Structure 1
Amino acid sequence: MKKNIKSTEKESGTENKSNTSGSHQYTEREDSRTGLSVETLKKAISNNLFYVQAKYPEIATRNDYYMALAYAVRDRLLQRWVASVKQYIQGKERVVSYLSAEYLLGPHLANNLINLGIYKEVEQACEELGLNLDWLIEKEVEPGLGNGGLGRLAACYMDSLATLEVPAIGYGIRYQFGIFEQDIRDGWQVEDTDNWLRRGNPWEIARRELSHDVKLGGHIQHYIDRSGKFCSNWIPELVVKGVAYDTPILGYKVNTANTLRLWKSEAPHSFDFQSFNAGEYNNAVNQKIICENISKVLYPNDEQREGKILRLQQQYFFVSCSLQDMINIHLNQGEKIEDFDKKFAVQLNDTHPAIGVVELMRLLMDEHLLDWDTSWNITTKTFAYTNHTLLPEALETWDLELFGSVLPRHLELIYEINRRFLDFVTVRFFGDNQKISNLSLIGEGKRKHVRMANLACLGSHAINGVAALHSDLLKKTVLHDWYELSPEKFSNKTNGVTPRRWIVLSNPNLTKLISEKIGEGWIKDLEELRGLEKYADDPEFQQAWMKVKLDQKKALAKKIQKRLGVKVDPESMFDIQVKRIHEYKRQHLNVLHVIALYNRIKKNPDLEIVPRTFIFAGKSAPGYRKAKLIIKLINSVGEVVNNDPDVRGRLKVVFYPNYNVTNAQKIYPAADLSEQISTAGKEASGTGNMKLSLNGALTIGTLDGANVEIRECVGEENFFLFGLTADEVAQTKAAGYKSKEYYESNAVLKEAIDQINSGYFSHLDVNTFKELTDSLMYDDQYLLFADFQSYIEAQEKAAEAFKHKEMWAKMSILNTARMGKFSSDRSIKEYCDEIWKVKSVPVEIDSIKIIEK
């Protein structure tokens, strides 16, 4: 990267630039602050380097240049952002409030260049300044504000809300330390601190003046006021201040820029001067430390009571700040508190923000003095709930005593909500004590607990799953009693992904190839990809398609060699499984197939097989030992396979560390085969399956989550199906499933398990994987052994298809062409029409005037 920046003294004067790529044409004055010409962009970067970074070219680092460019791009978002905020405030439109504990946004710079439509101009400006845009983009540290699918979905939905010009605010937590950085040492996952803010964050604006107080702990005083009304006064043990940090989320080639508002926890008084003067130096800053801990780290370990308390504090903290914020916005517009639900549609992204149901009741009753019935009516019209799990153990609960110690007023309200609700339920289901118990907000068990999913269901006017199968199973299993009680609340909203990040940005060559054939309309209407179908049999187009795929594989192979020192063959089948590491996602089933192939080669070194590169990536929860063992097994098998001369490069096993959005953008476009092999009935939906298919990968998978709908759309002939169905899984378990019988009757499976147990992949240590293999042998709750043979047969079909290049190319093209349904734009339209009852509100760029000096 060159350090000399060419002079950009030439002024652009009053040149006008017309932008017609959005839904409304506007003319923007080409000035030094917001202009989009190459010359103006060059000057903006140079000015930011000097006036914001206080650096000159000879001493500037690559990060200094990245920051200078980022600020230049942010400047060009501000007019749209401020105009959007002003239009929403002045208007009467209903606003979507998305409450999510996670947002995995990915890096902002390149995405904003795409959505602004100035990627080429910025690339040229950087080149003329002696800079490399790709280097600057790689310098950005992504915000790791989520674990996996939940946070990635929230990011896609924020993109689609802005692109569809829907008024929206995303609310969450500004974690100082996000999801951990994953390193692999001796095959084991090691967690390092994700200090994503260490170099600053040019995309956010701190709103120091915008803060809300949040009460925690303490006790309740009850009294009768002068009018004879029973009142409650919460005397807290601790008050935490939530400070807003705002990030603009720009839509694709529109003027709409919505707000992502994340809350940072602080102490109302960060320094106790009296304690300091008394020599109590630690006590002087004690409250500051306690308060700041709340937004310190994403999902603290909750194995200990202190961790559980901190998690509950986190959830309540961001929900309370967000609801107080919405109420302030509403009242500042001169509206009545009784009309709150007409202004805001609040979506609960899983149960983490479910405490919002009780918090809104508290705010309406205790702070705004509304009666119970009015408050409950507003609350239930405001909230809607998205469920993201079929695992009963994942339905969040809180120990009653712990909950009351943190939120005493809310526990009182939950008891009262539950009392009124159970009076109704007892009449409705008189004599069915089990159903009444199942519906109660309070679970009995060994220790009484608050059921957050029940609270979300009761306090919401709509409940949805995230794939057709998932929504159907919700009605039959974990939310069956709620469905019987209120079937009208239930609907399905199959997840989707944004094509802007997951093709346009991550796969520009494929974007160019598609757009040359069918135009660019598909970027905002993914159904237009159907236009590719007529080229699926065209040999010339097939060759161009597979060249793009090969180039992506070469790029990934280069990164693998640089990062891991493993040389892989781009001509081999890239067999990819990238997702959170979990037993139900069954990465170890994939590993058993690798071992089976390896053993075939060992028995016949001259065997002709389709060369494969198995690529795994994903993080295990820090306290999830079996998931960590799966990571170790992948790496241990890879160590043996990759270094065995008999294999001769026909098999390679790679675990790509620190799976995040940045790395996913490199991996998805390179995939030939997409592994979606979870036990049927366990995966709610998935979004990685959509991103991989969208980029032309063929899926090998079970009928689980959104796999069912993907297979329906792409055609069963373009999908490698295996395994038991969800109903068959339930029947097999009910019949008394014994995994050891499958082990004893399947020679290939038995050989692989015995090989692991012998220490073959662990330097002769027979105990390394014993816990993992014993769980499969005696407690295979995810039916890995039952699906093994079917999986092997499906893998053989995939290998055979890969040999026929023209056929594989056609199948790949058709996978992409038929993925239109899985756009997050379609998902958001369904939410808008059927749940939120909101409409698009195009933003006029001239609705705000920039003060010119």
Structure 2
Amino acid sequence: MKSLVKVMELSEKSRTASGTREVQRNFIEHLNLTLGKDVKNSTNWDKFYALALLVKDRVVERWLRTQKKYYSKDDIKRVYYLSMEFLIGRLLYNNLLNLKLEDEVKKAIEEIGLNLDDLSELEPDAGLGNGGLGRLAACFLDSIATLGYPGYGYGIRYEYGIFKQVIENGFQKELPDDWLKNGNPWEIERKDRTVKVRFYGRTESYTDDNGNLRFRWVDTTDVLAVPYDTPVIGYGNNVANTLRLWSAKAIHEFDFDNFQRGNYVKSMEAKAIAEAISKVLYPNDAFYAGRELRIKQEYFFVSASLQDIIRRFKAQFGNRFYLFPQKNVIQLNDTHPALAIPELMRILLDEEGLGWEKAWDITTKTFAYTNHTVMPEALEKWEVQLFEKLLPRHLEIIYEINARFLNKVSEMFPGDLNKIRNVSIFEEGNIKQVRMANLSVIGSYSVNGVSRLHTDILKEKVFKDFYEIWPEKFNNKTNGITQRRWLLQCNPELSKLITEAIGDSWILDLERLKDLENFVEDKTFLEKFYEIKHANKKKLAKYVEEHLDISLDPYSIFDVQIKRLHEYKRQLLNVMHIIYLYNLLKENPSLDIHPRTFIFGAKAAPGYKMAKLIIKLINSVADVVNKDPLINKKLKVVFIPNYNVSLAEKIIPAANVSEQISTAGKEASGTGNMKLALNGALTIGTLDGANVEIKERVGDENIFIFGLTAEQVYRMKESQLYNPYDIYNSNEQIRKILNMINEGYFNPENPDLFKDIFQSILFGINGGQPDEYMLLADFDSYKNTQKKIDALYREKYEWNKKALLNVARVGVFSSDRTIKEYAENIWKTKTV
């Protein structure tokens, strides 16, 4: 093995050579000259950092060329993707793969005694997101760059992620996710692009030189927004786009007078208040200060982003704002960035001097809105009182937008007060609120759902009144995932097998996977396919053993449910089925069931009491099951803490069964369902979200569908005939499961702990409906469908055929396809 010292003694000729030697030379340069370390005193983190920097050099080279290209062309239309979350995961492997440098770099550092996999494991997951919304945004950025569209992501550079989850005595505990504590090698601070963001204050009117009534926002409290850029590299095409994240800083971070008087805490107060804005992803909004901070975050990043977008536009086109919608499109990823609509109006009216009609025409031709939820309680609303205090000028603009819009609605539907009430931006009541979804629909030229079923529900229920006004605005863009990360990167052995069989064109055209159908009767190929899955299961089992001290049987069925913990996603239904199996085995330990390992990964929002209680129940059931020698050879339950992108990359390739069991009509799309199917897991799911389209693609016989449809759920709730207590009384198995939960079987030291779960299902809790998410209505169907999985898994050949057909037929769910549809149908932009 060559030492690092010897590499430093390379000849001048080899120092300028390309390939392995060049990588080694760059590595040593960054270790020495950037980090100030020599070989002997450098830590493993130093080595990772130096390696990341040499990869970044190659990314930045492409990035600078790409940006120069964009500025050299006046006929391009830039796409700006505004999102509160970008769950980008680790970037070392991702960048190496997209640069096609993995083999070269791996060989170079192996020659000097280092291991690429070991170093990559040191990289923390970027704490920039929580769940599907953020992961989708990251996939979209990858596809935008890979397809060569001029695109930019805008968000917040959170100092701490949502939280680091640890499990103590079965309970979720939240610790700070200090992902930036050792620095971030991928970002570049852009102090020269710092902008000022204003809050509070008041408005005043005045007459301009032309006699027009104008408004000023004055006496504001200002914060600096400092941008940090992360290049986003496309796969194999030398395109590098930009993810620009804003960090909040005080204008005057230090009050010297207070310090001199001994008021040391007071001297730093402005800094603390300002920096709180970008401190934590999703601060708890269960109290007033938390809600105020959430709105501050949302306005902070959209104001900074719009100032940046307008600066870039004016650098090329001056004040010709009539060109603005031709050169820019701003996609709102859910309602979090909806304040961009009144902010653009404010800038155009108050700073650029445009009239209302021109400003509104520009605004409504610039914004497009993606909705991500059908649940009314999840549609964002904020108190008018908060707006009045925090953003007084924006509230005036929103009132004007609403008044003009409602006048038009009154003309279209005279006397229809119901419609006017439903489409108004303001919701009247004890506390008057601003409805951000209504603002988003009114201010955008396109409104899209993220699966066909979801979009139908938007048209027919959630935004029915808007759809009657603007049917042409509504369209569907079924979500997708990037195959570069979710197959090529996370499952290299399966990727290699696929490429050997059909070539590598699938990396850029995932629908080419359909060629794998030629191998579904090939027993040799299916055996290799099985062995890869088994090897991935062994890797996951090793991880669980090392981190949780739980031994897993890789020959058991790995049954996986990994997603945010929310009642509608029905982790509780999964747990009820586990208890059902446990009861069967307690009654008959020799019962013939195939060994099954149930794997959970989920975070619950810190203020979501019921979700956190379900996590405790999962862990309590796991504790009982895993310690019972009569049971644990056939059943194991594992809750893997701190679920994130990197853990998903380990779990997904190992999964046999993908649990997609949300109450029908509740999940907008899902992308975990796509990732798991792409890696050869069979789905058990309801006809919800993108499950509907996955079923159509893979075939009824290659997916396990159960339960009520969205329409059946809706009808049962509307009729108010559904009574879960009747099912409890008539179904002995369900009654036993719920009684065990209620009476403390799984938590004897505190037998009342899970009573709220029992109460919520049978009687409702805190004013909610009994069994709001229809667990008892779907339980028997779910249980019986699980029996089909048990039977099929014993037929190894048939199972592997179906698993391979899932891989072969889900190519349509690539984010490349989704982004092409956005570009062609919504953004009207072209590749450069």
TM-score for both structures, normalised by structure 2: 0.98
2:764 counterpart of 1:808: no
Tell me if structure 1 keeps the 8 A contact 2:159–2:280: yes
User: Mean Cα displacement is larger for which, 760-769 or 191-200?
Assistant: 760-769
Aligned pair 1:745/2:730, yes or no?
A: yes
Shift in Å, 1:147: 1.3
- Work out the CA distance in 2 between the residues paired with 1:675 and 1:648: 21
* Residue of structure 2 aligned with 1:43, choices 25, 48, 66: 25
1:377: Cα distance to partner? Answer: 0.6
Q: Paired residue for 1:705?
A: 689
Q: Provide the C-alpha distance between the structure 1 equivalents of 2:174 and 2:140, rounded to a whole number of angstroms.
A: 29
Is residue 2:471 matched to residue 1:480? Answer: no
Contact between 1:758 and 1:765, CA under 8 Å: does it hold in 2?
A: no
Alignment correspondent of 1:21: none
Matched position secondary structure for 1:60: coil
User: What residue is the counterpart of 2:767 in the other structure?
Assistant: none
**SS of equivalent to 2:647:** helix
> Residue 6 of structure 1 corresponds to which residue in structure 2?
6
Among candidates 94, 102, 122, match of residue 111 of structure 1: 94
Aligned counterparts of 1:293 and 1:806: Cα–Cα separation in 2: 56
Q: Deviations over 1:90-143 (max 9, x none)?
A: 212000000000010000001001001010111111111111111100000111
SS of the counterpart of 1:654?
strand
| Mean Cα deviation higher: 704-713 or 330-339 | 330-339
Q: CA deviation at 1:81?
A: 0.2
How far does residue 8 in structure 1 lie from its aligned partner after superposition? Answer: 4.3
- Which whole-Å CA distance do the structure 1 matches of 2:632 and 2:477 have between them? 47
Instruction: Look up the match of 1:605.
Output: 589
What's the offset of the Cα at 1:273?
A: 2.9
Alignment of 1:75 onto 2:60:
no
- Taking the aligned partners of 2:732 and 2:153, their CA distance within structure 1 comes to 53
Of 607, 614, 622, the residue aligned with 1:630 is 614
**Shift, 1:773, TM fit:** 1.3
Residue number in structure 1 paired with 2:298: 315
- How far, CA to CA, are the matches of 1:821 and 1:6 in structure 2? 50
Q: For residue 766 of structure 2, what is the aligned residue in structure 1? A: none
Deviation per CA, 1:379-398: give whole Å up to 9, x if none.
01100000000110111011
Q: What is the aligned partner in structure 2 of residue 26 from structure 1?
A: none
Alignment map for 1:79-90 (pairs within 5 Å) = 79-90=61-72
Partner of 2:382: 398
C-alpha displacement at 1:477, in angstroms? Answer: 1.2
Aligned partners of 1:56, 1:133: CA distance in 2, in Å? 20
| Equivalent position amino acid for 2:255 in 1 | D
What's the CA shift for 1:403?
1.1
1:8–1:39 CA contact under 8 A, matched in 2: no
Supply the distance in 2 between the matched residues of 1:314 and 1:699 (Cα, whole angstroms). Answer: 37
Question: 1:607 aligns to what SS in structure 2?
Answer: coil
Residue pair 1:275, 1:283 contacting (<8 A) in 2 also? yes
Q: Return the offset for 1:66.
A: 0.2
Match of 2:190 among 207, 219, 233: 207
**C-alpha displacement of 1:648:** 4.4
Indicate how the Cα distance of structure 1 residues 36 and 179 shifts in structure 2: closer, same or farther if over 3 A, else same. farther
Preserved contact between residue 595 and residue 634 of structure 2 (Cα < 8 Å): yes
AA aligned opposite 1:644: D
Structure 1: 4+ residue segments shifted above 6 A: none
Which residue is 1:235 aligned to? 218
Match of 1:248 in 2: 231
Whether the 8 Å CA contact 2:743–2:755 is kept in 1: the answer is no
Cα distance in 2 for residues equivalent to 1:497 and 1:11: 45
1:477 match: secondary structure? helix
What is the rounded CA distance, in whole Å, between the counterparts of 1:649 and 1:254 in structure 2?
50
1:299 Cα offset (Å): 0.8
Deviation at 1:404, TM superposition (A): 1.1
| 1:461 aligned partner | 445
Paired with 1:394 and 1:179, the residues of 2 have a C-alpha distance of 18
Gaps of 5+ in 1: 16-30, 842-853
**In the alignment, which residue of structure 1 is the partner of 2:551?**
567
2:688 maps to 1:688: no
* Cα separation, 1, equivalents of 2:742 and 2:268: 53
Alpha carbons 1:215, 1:236 under 8 Å: kept: no
C-alpha distance in 1 between matches for 2:2 and 2:384: 61
Maintained 8 Å contact 2:618/2:639: yes
Query: How far does residue 3 in structure 1 lie from its aligned partner after superposition?
Result: 7.6
The residue type equivalent to 1:149 in the other structure is G
Q: Does 1:834 align with 2:818?
A: no
Inter-partner Cα distance in structure 1 for 2:483 and 2:728: 43
2: CA distance, partners of 1:255 / 1:346 = 24
User: Are 1:762 and 2:753 an aligned pair?
Assistant: no
Partners of 2:51 and 2:262 in 1: CA distance: 47
Deviation at 1:2, TM superposition (A): 9.9
Q: State the match for 1:644 in structure 2.
A: 628
SS in structure 2 of the partner of residue 333 of structure 1: helix
CA contact (8 A) 1:698 1:812 kept: yes
Per-residue CA distance 1:276-307 (angstroms, 9 max, x = gap): 34444333322121111111111111111111
Verify the 8 A CA contact 1:536 1:542 in the aligned structure 2: yes
In structure 2, the residue matched to 1:848 is none
Cα distance in 1, alignment partners of residues 8 and 494 from structure 2: 35
Question: In the alignment, is residue 341 of structure 1 matched against residue 325 of structure 2?
Answer: yes
Pairwise CA RMSD: 1.3
For residue 534 of structure 1, the aligned residue among 513, 518, 532 is 518
Counterpart AA for 1:694? L
Distance 2:66 2:367 in 1: 24
Aligned partners of 1:171 and 1:262 also within 8 Å: yes
Letter in 1 for 2:552: V
Output the amino acid matched with 2:531: K
Please report how far the alpha carbon of residue 734 of structure 1 lies from its aligned counterpart in structure 2 after TM superposition.
Answer: 2.1
Partner of 1:261: 244
C-alpha distance in 1 between matches for 2:329 and 2:207: 34
Name the SS of the counterpart of 2:467 in structure 1.
Answer: helix
CA positional deviation for 1:765: 3.0
Q: How does 1:839-850 map onto structure 2 within 5 Å?
A: 839-841=830-832
Q: SS where residue 476 of structure 1 aligns?
A: helix
Superposed CA offset, 1:545-594 (max 9, x none): 00000000000000001111110100000000000001000001000111
Residues 701-757 of structure 1, C-alpha deviation per residue, up to 9 Å, x if partnerless?
A: 000000000000000100001000000001111232111111112111111111122
Find the residue that maps to 1:420 and give its secondary structure.
helix
2:755, 2:245 → 1: CA distance?
44
Map 1:450-529 onto structure 2 (within 5 A): 450-529=434-513
Match for residue 615 of structure 1? Answer: 599
CA distance in 1, matches of 2:683, 2:66: 40
Name the amino acid aligned to 1:763.
Answer: P
Determine what percentage of the aligned residue pairs are the same residue: 52
> Secondary structure of 2:448's partner?
strand
Asked if the contact 2:3–2:113 (Cα under 8 Å) also holds between the matched residues in 1, the reply is yes
Deviations 1:64-108 (A, max 9, x none): 000000000000111110011111112120000000000100000
Instruction: Choose which of 134, 147, 154 in structure 1 pairs with 2:130.
Output: 147
Residue correspondence of structure 1 range 17-416 to structure 2 within 5 A: 37-92=19-74, 93-335=76-318, 336-416=320-400
Once the 2 structures are TM-superposed, how far is the Cα of residue 275 of structure 1 from its aligned partner? 3.4
* TM-aligned CA deviation for residue 367 of structure 1: 0.6
Letter in 1 for 2:67: V
Q: Work out the CA distance in 2 between the residues paired with 1:2 and 1:136.
A: 18
Identify the residue that residue 19 of structure 1 maps to in structure 2: none
Of 415, 426, 443 in structure 2, the residue corresponding to residue 431 of structure 1 is: 415
| Matched residue SS, 2:88 | coil
Alpha-carbon separation, structure 1, partners of 2:114 and 2:288: 51
Moved more, 740-749 or 365-374: 740-749
> What CA distance in whole angstroms lies between the structure 1 residues aligned with 2:568 and 2:187?
37
- CA drift of 1:11 comes to 4.8
Q: TM-score, normalised by structure 1?
A: 0.95
Kindly indicate whether the alpha-carbon contact (under 8 Å) linking 1:242 and 1:265 is maintained by their aligned counterparts in 2.
Answer: yes
Deviation, 1:665, is 0.2
For residue 53 of structure 1, report the CA deviation from its aligned partner. 1.1
Equivalent AA in structure 1 for residue 788 of structure 2: K
**CA 531–38 in structure 1, closer or farther in 2 if over 3 Å, else same:** same
Offset of 1:152 from its aligned partner? 0.2
Cα distance in 2 for residues equivalent to 1:822 and 1:382: 27
